[in-house]
Structure 1
Amino acid sequence: MANEQVPQRWMEAAKAGDISLLYGCIQGYPKILDSIDEIPFVDTPLHIAASEGHAHFALEMMRLMPSFGKKLNPQGLSPLGLALQRREGLSNLQNMGGLTPEERDLLNRITSTIRRLINFDKELIRVKGRESFTPLHYVAEKGDFDLLAEFLCACPKSIMDRTIRDETALHIAVKNSKPEAFKVLLGCLCRIREHHDVLRWKDDEGNTLLHIAVSTSQAQIVKSLLKTKNVDKNAKNLAGRTALDIAIANPGETDITKALDHAGASKSASLPAECSFATFFRSPQSGIEVLARQQFYQERELTMEMRNAILVVAVLIATATFQAMLSPPGGVVRGGTGDNNNQLTTNENHINATILSTTTNNNLIPTNNVSYINATIFTNTTTTNPTATVDPSKQVLLKSLDGKTVSTPSDATRVVRKVMT
């Protein structure tokens, strides 16, 4: 097979959904799929198969080249996005005057292919195309609440994705006056019990969902938003206007104005002036701010992983100490006479454990708490000399939080507990 004929052959295979013909192209030119993937923007075989409703071919292509699922064509559409666009066109024709049997069959095949693709890879729902539009954004814009619900069930986190205009699917549904799609999105947020702060997010003009609903005179959506706990009724947009300001500016929106008044919304003139960053940075630091910042950095540096590491070392020290007390090792030089009477005697041994930080920014222990833990624990079960002492240079090497010297296992335990809390 001549290389110049390969593109035409694989396009025919994708349009027909012919997997055998696809592998015939691969046999003639094994690098065919890699060569397609090297092109930044291209209609891949997956684009064509998805838009033609060939589910089996599309899934085989996803298995062979998963990267095709995130590939954009020259129009900035992913394979799933192109399939949704083709489906929307057929749905519009159906609503206008009906479809031919062939077109109805194509619509059903495309819908089935879309569902098969998201079951194969849920992250396809979050692939950002032109203007960072995702498939979820598209179905929210068109008000396709059935597919919207399926997408949310498959990938709830997709509700957090934003366009280049900082719009979520909720913003898009409200801006395009799709109340049913909005209800699906709001119902999803209420049920998954997370990402509720999405209701407070603003678009690039500083408008919240409440701003948009008021400005587009969607009273039902306004009332639904006012019933939720996570909506800021007094948020200001970049123009400095609250939702109530917008409602008052439209004399015909008495129903919305009453709903906002009843919910306790305020006009911007009655709200305290917002502190700018310049004003904040020029102001002196308060004591509370200093304490809060110290606490923040301590918690950030001492992660759970670090705490676990400290706990492991503490357990190792305690275990080694216990074992040494039960069965002390031999070979330790006995204490003698004269100047050596003050040295530890037989069966005296020590365990040394060290935790050190090797970097400046990622200390195992926050630098403002402990620079290192270096513990040497001595055990002695058979000392006959009650006046025996330890060489000061070897006695204690544990620096505690409060700067006190640690000379016993109980002191070490105290320090470890203090670090862990």
Structure 2
Amino acid sequence: MGERIIDRLNDVARQGNIEDVYGLIQENVMLLEEIDKLPFVDTPLHVAASAGGPQHIRFAIEMMRLKPSFARKPDLNGYSPIHLALQGGHTQMVRRLLQVDGDLVRVKGKEGRTPLHDVAAAAATEQRLALMDKFLSDCPNSIEDVTIQNQTALHIALLENKKLDAFKRLVKWLRKNKSENAREILNRQDGEGNTVLHVAVSKNETEAVRELLNCGVNLNARNLEGHTAQDILQERSQVNNSEIRDMLCYAGVLSCSCLFLPYVNCYEYRLRKPIVLFYERSRILRNTVLFVERLRLLIETAREGSRISNDDRNALLVVAALLITITYQVVLSPPGGLWQDEERSSISPGPAQEPASEIAHYAGTAILDSTGLQVSFDKVAMINYFTFTLSAIMTFLLLPSGYISALFRMALVQLWVSYYYSWGVIIEETWSAWHNCLYVTGLCFGLVFLVFFGRLFCGGRIKSLNLHWILSFVYAYLMLKTVTRST
């Protein structure tokens, strides 16, 4: 194929003349096929996309209809037509190309950059931000694409864009539309092991750090140098950003040196952090924040120690919910049923006394609890209480972070309180019964503590042992002891 005819075709593309294209095709019907065989070439679509005028838009759409593969072919510089249209600022050209093929958002150019990466790096006007929204709307999975440096659009928006509008919009879109793997994308590390939080701290972007901390990112992720976001902040001694420092301390971000300490000391260190610096005005508010922070750190520590995947956690939540439902049903319909009336039993009076009576049972109490099977019923009650409490604690820990989950945790606590007092209604309230309930509650918390924290405290000393078997024997022994105490 002669270079002269290619030059003529590109001249036609610069003019946006569709009729002349067909004239050249009549001269050589294999013209477009021969161009398509070249791995790197400036196709007529590249030329039209670079021009970006109204006539060029019509030309580009016609060329995509004739040869769709041109839309993904790189030119001699490694760019596809949509990359060239973006670089030229031809927004309408980009939109029309996406109308023909929405997956063009994921076409990779030089250094593995997609159009989403390019617009995230340069989006400063509302028009460009709206274009980025269209990219995400047409191809939501494009947010997962990374460059050859393993950088996401979030990394690029922080590193290359002078404004935070694009970054904030990406984070907002992730939280709204990509909740199933938003955390994975937010915690993705680039070629140097830096997460978006590392980049935000290194760029001294206070607003970006605040956005990320509100998203529940991995606070103590380490890059390839072993540094956390706290370490990066400490290295930037020339930049005194007390607001970022206070936010990191409040969130519980640790330095690398603390991560290598025994976990007990590390946890205590985190609690000694000045997490109440923002709340100096009110002692009550400071104590409240400290309690919430301790609780949040405890849940985070449990998750990090257990290393449960999202799929496993979802399965465990389903099982826990089923156990809670089944065990609560026992309270509503205990074995043997509930008395529907109140009965009084007569007491033999003395010679000069009138006949007396006392209440044998109350309406709404368990039938078996007032018969000769009371001991067996107490055993069933304790086992059921143990199962419900343990399932409720596990559900509390396995729920994801966030404000919505906090509401569910509050509801879960209220459900446990309701369950606790429901047993007090249907069984005879004695000191022994309440003592056993408290004993079982402590037993449940102890087992959860062993499961989640035992490996952290014992380190490698129990790696060769089957922890599950050990806990099973401990559970059997303590449960047997509990049942014995209830007799």
The TM tier, using the shorter chain, reads 0.5 to 0.7
8 A contact 2:74–2:80 mirrored in 1: yes
> Residue type of the partner of 1:205?
E
Unaligned runs of 5+ in 2: 263-307, 313-487
Aligned to 1:175: 159
Check the 8 A contact 1:174/1:213 in 2, yes or no: yes
* 1:235 match: secondary structure: coil
Corresponding position: 1:83 with 2:70: no
TM normalised by structure 2 equals: 0.50
Which residue of 2 is the match for residue 279 of structure 1? none
Q: Is the partner of 2:135 in helix, strand or coil?
A: helix
CA RMSD in angstroms, aligned pairs only: 2.2
**TM-score for both structures, normalised by structure 1:** 0.58
Deviations 1:56-102 (A, max 9, x none): 11111111111101100111110000111111xxxxxxxxxxxxxxx
Residue of 125, 128, 145 corresponding to 2:129: 145
**One-letter amino acid matched to 1:226:** L
Amino acid at match of 2:64: M
Alignment match, 2:256 = 268
CA deviations on 1:155-185 (whole Å, 9 max, x unpaired) are 1111110000000100000112431010111
| Partner residue, 1:224 | 211
Question: Which of the residues 189, 198, 207 maps onto 2:174?
Answer: 189
Secondary structure at the aligned position of 1:187 is classed as: helix
2:142 equivalent in structure 1: 158
Alpha-carbon distance between aligned partners in 2 of 1:12 and 1:223, rounded to the nearest angstrom? 52
Whole-angstrom CA distance in 2 between matches of 1:6 and 1:206: 49
Instruction: Output the CA distance in 2 between the equivalents of 1:74 and 1:25.
Output: 23
Deviations along 1:342-385, one digit per CA (max 9) or x if unpaired, are xxxxxxxxxxxxxxxxxxxxxxxxxxxxxxxxxxxxxxxxxxxx
Residue matched to 2:94: 114
Give the Å deviation of 1:131: 0.6
Q: Percentage identity across aligned positions? A: 44
Letter in 2 for 1:164: I
> What amino acid does structure 1 have at the position aligned with 2:188?
W
AA of the residue aligned to 2:193: G
- SS where residue 146 of structure 2 aligns? coil
Q: Describe the superposition over 1:369-407 as per-residue Cα deviations: whole angstroms up to 9, x where unpaired.
A: xxxxxxxxxxxxxxxxxxxxxxxxxxxxxxxxxxxxxxx
1:101-157 deviation digits (Å, cap 9, x = unpaired): xxxxxxxxx321110001110111111111101111111111242321121111111
Does residue 63 (structure 1) correspond to residue 62 (structure 2)? The answer is no
Alignment of 1:39 onto 2:14: no
Specify the SS of the correspondent of 2:79: coil
Alignment pair present for 1:234 and 2:210? no
Task: Please list every run of 5 or more consecutive structure 1 residues that lacks an aligned counterpart in the other structure.
Answer: 88-109, 275-291, 297-421
Q: Is the 8 A contact 1:222 1:256 kept in 2?
A: yes
Q: Is contact 1:160–1:195 with CA below 8 Å preserved after alignment?
A: no
- Match of 2:120, as an amino acid? A
- Aligned position for 1:10: 9
Deviation of 1:273 after TM superposition, in Å, equals: 7.5
Match of 1:256 in 2: 244
- Taking the aligned partners of 2:133 and 2:261, their CA distance within structure 1 comes to 41
Distance 1:234 1:255 in 2: 18
How far off its partner does 1:272 sit? 4.0
| C-alpha distance in structure 2 between counterparts of 1:11 and 1:244, whole Å | 54
Which structure has greater helix proportion?
Answer: 2
CA distance in 1, matches of 2:211, 2:17: 49
The aligned amino acid for 1:185 is L
- The 1:202–1:11 alpha-carbon spacing in structure 2 relative to 1, beyond 3 Å, is same
Q: Helix, strand or coil for the counterpart of 1:9? A: helix
How many pairs align?
254
Contact 2:91/2:131 (8 A) holds in 1: no
1:247 maps to what in 2? 233
CA contact (8 A) 1:6 1:29 kept: no
Counterpart amino acid of residue 57 in structure 2: A
Q: Partners in 2 of 1:217 and 1:8 — Cα distance? A: 50
